Amino acid sequence: MENKIAFNDLGLSEKTLEAINKKGFEEPTPIQAMTIPLMLRDDTNIIAQAQTGTGKTAAFGLPLIELIDSSERTVQALILTPTRELAIQVSEEILSLKGNKDLRIVPIYGGQSISQQLRSLKKGVHIVVGTPGRVIDHLKRKTLKIGNIEHLILDEADEMLNMGFIDDMEEIMAHTNPNKRTLLFSATIPKKIKDLAHKYMDGYELLAVKKEQLTTNLTEQIYFEVKASEKFESLCRIIDIEDDFYGLVFCRTKNDVDTVASHLMGRGYDAEAIHGDISQAQRERTLDKFKNQNVNILVATDVAARGIDVNNLSHVINYSLPQDPESYVHRIGRTGRAGNEGTAITFITPSEYKKLMFIQRAAKTDIKKSKIPNVKDIIKAKRKKIFDDLAAVMSEKVDDAYLKLAKKLLEDKDPEEILAATLNYCFEDELNPENYKEITTSNGKRNQIDQQGKARLFVSLGKKDKYNPKKLVELITGKVSIKSKQINDVQVMDKFSFITVPFEKAEEIVQRFKEKGQRPIFTHAKKDKRR
């Protein structure tokens, strides 16, 4: 059996290993295992052939953190990237891995105020991550000095070549000292890249990772363009339209995870949350429930989701757009496994379109635009599920108590009327089009008329009163004739909360709690403009 390589086998310091552990990395990728020890030797140039999504940023970022002398406030490393998005992402990734080391990193790129960059550079930085054009701007202004750098890294070298940056790359390399070490990352090594290496790299070691398909053909990749305020409603529609939804929902922050998970649970979905603030014991319990499909929706951050190994997920939902192509590939790689088909869905706001297109190009994949299911389709899907569920129940033996109740109901009533009344009683909210919020499509049209007759209530109870969304809903349903699914957008703050309910129920709730002789817990909030 082949022994797995661990991060502590690569020669990294204890402080860096602690930062890796906090980040959630479990074991090095092949390019990391090859590159890190070689860079730490600090005695050779490197050409590394590796695709996006293989962990290459950490492959050169971790050794840089070890090799930079933080006591010297001078530019010791320059990282060139083809786009400003990648410059920002590389900078953020290295910052997230540096731990407590006093390391100054600044991204410089076109489109950002050059005066802001000048201020950052004047303060003194160790690592500059920049696009070729903006780096040359600073070289001409003499505001960036790279004559004494120790490390030059060309990230996505073939992409820079495709974008016409070859002359800029040569000009920048000519400004550097000949004794520096150069690391060139490229998914392919075309002739012009080889010529560049021969001209400016005095010998090098070639590292190549076996080319693998980054995204599986069994995973359908689509995206929806919606307003940020409409993401949650869109998520619910995706879940509702599927026969057997079983998936991961990725959010960017711990707060987003908690908010999305609590809102899902408030609407009656079987959902759980995991992120870095959850204890290991709770994490294990939650993962066991998810793997056993006792819950079918797991809301998570990227770090918390590491190590989740489930082969039969139907969906991966990018509720928040991933930070970089590598994160995108890692996320969607959790569906479409073991011969099973899967769907990867990404929600973006209109302003995030360019970033999504960069991710698509860098990950060398195809992400197709689609439309959020409309209310008519959702109700049709729910009707089908009701029919299927009832058919399944009718195929089993029915308890005598229910048979007796049915016979009594049928004594003087029409069977069709009884059945219709029962369906109305059970599914009135789910099958009522007016209970669905509007969603704005990217061309400004509406998928559904705004939901009517809704009221936003202020509740003078909050977290300090030991209330969470579930407990607040239970308080209301215990004293008022209202179903939990009629209570939406439950937001629990420290000292107060908000809920949205049908207008006719709002008056009943306010009056019922007044009658109980309690302090005015429920009052009408000012008009919710989202409605």
What tens digit of pLDDT does each residue of 234-269 get? 999 999 888 889 999 999 888 899 999 999 998 889
pTM for this model (two decimals) = 0.53
What CATH topology corresponds to 7-208?
A: Rossmann fold (3.40.50)
d(CA 512, CA 457): 14
d(CA 365, CA 280): 35
d(CA 171, CA 177): 13
> Judging by beta carbons within 10 Å of its beta carbon (0-12, 13-18, 19+), is residue 163 exposed, middle or buried?
middle
Q: How confident is the model at residue 531 (pLDDT cuts 50, 70, 90)?
A: very low
For the structural domain made of 454-524, what CATH number should be given? 3.30.70.330
pLDDT of residue 211 exceeding 70, the answer is no
pLDDT of residue 381 exceeding 90, the answer is no
Q: Half-sphere exposure of 26 toward its Cβ, with a 13 Å CA cutoff?
A: 8
Q: How confident is the model at residue 528 (pLDDT cuts 50, 70, 90)?
A: very low
Q: What is the dihedral of CA 91, 96, 100, 103, to 10 degrees?
A: 0
Q: Half-sphere exposure of 72 toward its Cβ, with a 13 Å CA cutoff?
A: 11
Whole-number pLDDT of residue 432: 72
Mean pLDDT within 355-365: 85
Whole-number pLDDT of residue 449: 30
**In Å, how far are 65, 488, 515 from 504, measured between CA atoms?**
61, 15, 17
Mean pLDDT within 465-479: 88
Domain range summary for the chain, segments of one domain joined by +:
7-208, 219-373, 376-435, 454-524
d(CA 432, CA 457): 22
Top CATH class of 219-373 equals alpha beta
Q: Are the C-beta atoms of 338 and 57 separated by less than 8 Å?
A: no
Closest listed residue to residue 472, CA positions, set 492, 493, 449, 454? 492
pLDDT of residue 328 exceeding 80, the answer is yes
Q: Do domains 7-208 and 219-373 have the same CATH topology?
A: yes
Which of 51-65, 335-349, 368-382, 422-436 is predicted least confidently?
422-436
Residues 144, 148, 150, 153: is their CA dihedral positive or negative? Answer: positive
